Every structure is written in C-alpha cells, then in structure tokens.
A and B are shown apart, each in its own frame.
Chain A
Amino acid sequence: MSRHSVVPLKLVTIVTERILEDRLLRTLLDLGAKGYTLTQATGKGSRGVRASEWEGPDTKIEALVSHDVAEKIVDHVADAFFEHYAVIVYVQDAAVVRGEKYI
C-alpha cells in the first residue's frame, strides 16, 4: 500500500498532425486542462497524408483531466478536426498521485 493516495482522473491522448498542435494546445487549456505532455510521434493510419514533409512527424498530446473536461475535449476534437485531419483521440482511466493538482 502506497503512502500516497491516488485520485481517479482521465488520461486524454490525442495523436494528430503537427500542424494542429498550437491550436489544440490552446483549446485544451481553454477547456480546463491544467497542463499537457507533448511527444513527437510517427506511425501509419488510414490517412497517409501530412501537410508538409517539412512539418516533422506527428504529435502526441496527453493530458490528465477531470471526467467533465475529458468529455469536452473529446467533443471538441471530434467536431473540429475529424472530418479533414488525421486525428486519433482516446480516453483512459488513470489513478494519479497528487491528482488534486489536475482538477
């Protein structure tokens, strides 16, 4: 048994084209996320397209958020980007140490 208590939160992960990175990060914070983690990603999916060979690889954005914020993020990403861009978004349950920081 850990000495530290954990808080149940949602881990939202978005994998998408680098070109959307700035816009997504802005909206993420607007919708209530307190922070995020960025990783460069490469991979293959149903859309083999990227805006430019010079944009670099794709980007993976992760954020620990409350249940409500996670829902808002998923809805926003789906509405704004699913139709025309390469986007993956998924939500996982997370038990987070010092979880109160993220709400």
Chain B
Amino acid sequence: MKRIAYDVRFRAVLYTRYPFTMDNLEVLAANLLSPVILAFVLGVVASLVRSDLKLPAALYNGLSIYLLLAIGLKGGVELSRTPLSVFAGPAMLTLLLGLLTPVFAYNILRRLGRMDRVNSAAIAAHYGSVSAVTFIVAITFGTMTGREPEGFMPALVAILEVPAIVVALMIAFMRDRRAGSWQDALHEVLSGRSVVLLVGGLLIGTLVGPKGFEPVAPFFKSGFQGALMLFLLEMGIVAASRLRDLREVGFFLIAFGILVPILHGTLTIWLAQFTGLTVAGAAVLAAMVSSASYIAAPAAVRIALPEANPTFYLTGALGITFPFNVTLGIPLYYFLAEWILG
C-alpha cells in the first residue's frame, strides 16, 4: 500500500521535472513502432541495401493527390462548423510564423553558417514553408496517442505553405537585381498541386459540410492510413538516397536541419498559448512550422534562384529534417506542448 503511494508520487515528480519519464519514452516508442514510421524505415533499408524496390511514379503521384485532397476535405468539413472567432487566432499566428521563420532561417545561415546569399535564401524558403506529409504524420501521431488536434488544422497548412517561399525569394531579389524569373516562380507555387489540392479540398469540404461529405467519407477516411504508409515507404527510399549527399553538405547544414526545426517548433508552441489552441493543436502546428517543404519550395526555387545548389536544400529538407521530424521531432513537440500548455 505504502509502496504504491510512493510510486505514484515519484512518477508525478518525475513527470513534472524530467522530460524522459517512462510515459514519454513509451510515447516515443509508440511513434517509432507505428506502421507509418516502420514503412519509412523499410524504405530507408531498401535503399541502403540497393534493393530494386521503387514505387512507380504514377502511384506515388496518385497517393500524394489522394492524401492532400483527403486532408483538404476533412479540414474543410471541420472548418464549416468552426466559429471564425476560434479559427482567427491560430490563423493569424500561422501567417505570422510563415513570415518570420524564413527570416530567422536566412539569418542563421548567413551569419552562423557563413553561406552565400542565394543558397541561404533558397534554404530559408524550404524551412519557412511546410511539408504536408510531416503534418499528416503529426496528426496521425496525435490521434494514435489519444490527443485529437483541432479539425481545422489543414486550413493552417494552406496558410503556411506560400508566404514563406515568397518572403525568402524577396530577400534574394531585394539584395540584387536577378536574372531568375519571379513571376514564373510565384505561378509555380500558387498553381502547384499541393496548394491547388489543399485549397480546393478545403473549399469543397466547407461547401458540402459534414452531410455532403458522408458519401465520399469511406473512401477518403478508411484508406488514408494505408495510403500514408505506402507514401512513407517511398519517402524512405527518397530520403535515404539523399543521405549519400550528407558528406557534401557539411556539418553545419546537418546541425541546422535538426536544431532550426526545434527552434521553430518551440517558438510556435510558446506563441500558441496565446491563441487558444489545444495541446495537440499546438504540437501539430509546431510540427508544421518546423518542417521543411520538399515539393512546392524546390520547384519554385529552381525557377527563381537557379544558381542555388539543389543538393543543399533537398538534402536538408528530405535527408535530415523530414526523418528527424517524423521519428523524434513530433513526439518532442507533443511533449513540449504538454509541458508549456498542459
């Protein structure tokens, strides 16, 4: 009897003082052992042993369309029953972070990393923008551990995706007159499939509402986790193929790819307490803000800043930050959110 009381008290003390209590380690293990993350690891292993495994381009294109439209739709349906007063705060915060994070990233790269302007701006565009797959994994992790984030989160992804790329390109274009095409780059971002599908899905979801979503819900809900697993398998293969470039990018960018997400994530959670987001909502927003885009941003940057080295920004976003976020980062953001907001 006495023993049990002691255990409970001891655990409570541990829980408030130290990050790595049993509970948190269990949560971390739950993430690392989820089917989605194990599929990612399988992809990495397959690439490292030089397996011939590769998802056909049409399949992973199809999967990404399915995933983006599904989260857009679900977000739209939720948005249709969310009062504007609840949504306004998180939306403003997201926009603010989208404008600030590329400036932080740029200055860290320039001042601490001593990188040239063009490469700094190119990398800043990626780290300011958002990886939709990291977002989906963060949502899935919350649901899996019984902490449901706000339903309108996908709308925040749409808000976060574009401004950071524009800000980072503006930094590059402000410094000197450039040859790259600014309009073509903007068109690439705004007409890129992730923006079209997310915004389109949000609009459709908002218009049809919960009742109208019902007939298509089985297709977009029940297949979602399986599709995500297949997509992460491919992501594992792609990320591992980037690992070979690690030596080329150097120690600074590797540290940048892990520490800057933690910085951006922590800042997000700290600011989230003023917006009324729940613990899970703040953690998911932190995962979004800390993530680096590898679909919309590379396309825009390749057009606007062709002299930037794609090895730097792709290896950073795909080879370092994405694997870090989906394995350790997301549990960390949930822990921090619970700590600061809980």
* Residues of A near any B CB (own CB < 8 A): 17, 19, 23, 49-57, 83-85
Contact = CB atoms under 8 A, between A and B. Distances in A.
Contacts of A57: 57
B307 A51 contact: no
Contact of A19 (B61, B238, B299): B299
Q: Considering residues A19, A23, A50, which has the most beta carbons from chain B within 10 angstroms of its beta carbon? A: A19
B303 A19 contact: yes
B302 interface: yes
A50 B298 CA distance: 9
B295 interface: yes
Nearest to A50: B310
A51 B310 contact: yes
A85 B181 CA distance: 14
B133 to A, nearest CB: 11
Contacts of A84: 306-307
A49 B303 contact: no
Given A54-B61, A54-B64, A84-B306, A49 B299 contact: no
B318 A85 contact: no
A58 to B, nearest CB: 12
A51 B57 contact: no
Contact of B318 (A17, A49, A50, A53): A53
B310 A55 contact: no
9 contacts: A17-B302, A19-B302, A50-B310, A51-B298, A53-B294, A54-B61, A55-B299, A56-B61, A83-B306
A51 B302 contact: yes
A80 to B, nearest CB: 9
Nearest to B180: A84
B153 interface: no
A49 B311 contact: yes
A83 B311 contact: no
B184 interface: yes
Given A52-B295, A83-B306, A84-B306, 18 more contacts: A19-B299, A19-B302, A49-B310, A49-B311, A51-B299, A51-B301, A52-B299, A52-B302, A52-B314, A53-B238, A53-B294, A53-B314, A53-B318, A54-B294, A54-B295, A57-B57, A83-B307, A85-B306
Q: Considering residues A23, A50, A52, which has the most beta carbons from chain B within 10 angstroms of its beta carbon? A: A52
A49 B307 CA distance: 12
A91 to B, nearest CB: 24
Contacts, number: 39
A57 to B, nearest CB: 8
Given A50-B310, A83-B307, A56 B57 contact: yes
Nearest to B242: A53
Contacts of A51: 298-299, 301-302, 310
4 closest A-B pairs by beta carbon, nearest first, are A84-B306, A51-B302, A52-B298, A49-B310
Interface in B42-66: 57, 60-61, 64
A53 B322 CA distance: 14
Nearest to A53: B238
Contacts of A19: 299, 302-303
A84 B118 CA distance: 13
Contacts of A17: 302
Contacts of B61: 54, 56
Contacts of A53: 238, 294, 314, 318
B294 A52 contact: yes
Interface string B302-317: 1100110111001000
Contacts of A50: 310
Q: Considering residues B238, B299, B307, which has the most beta carbons from chain A within 10 angstroms of its beta carbon? A: B299
A59 to B, nearest CB: 13
A19 B185 CA distance: 11
Nearest to A85: B306
B306 A23 contact: no
Contacts of A23: 181, 184
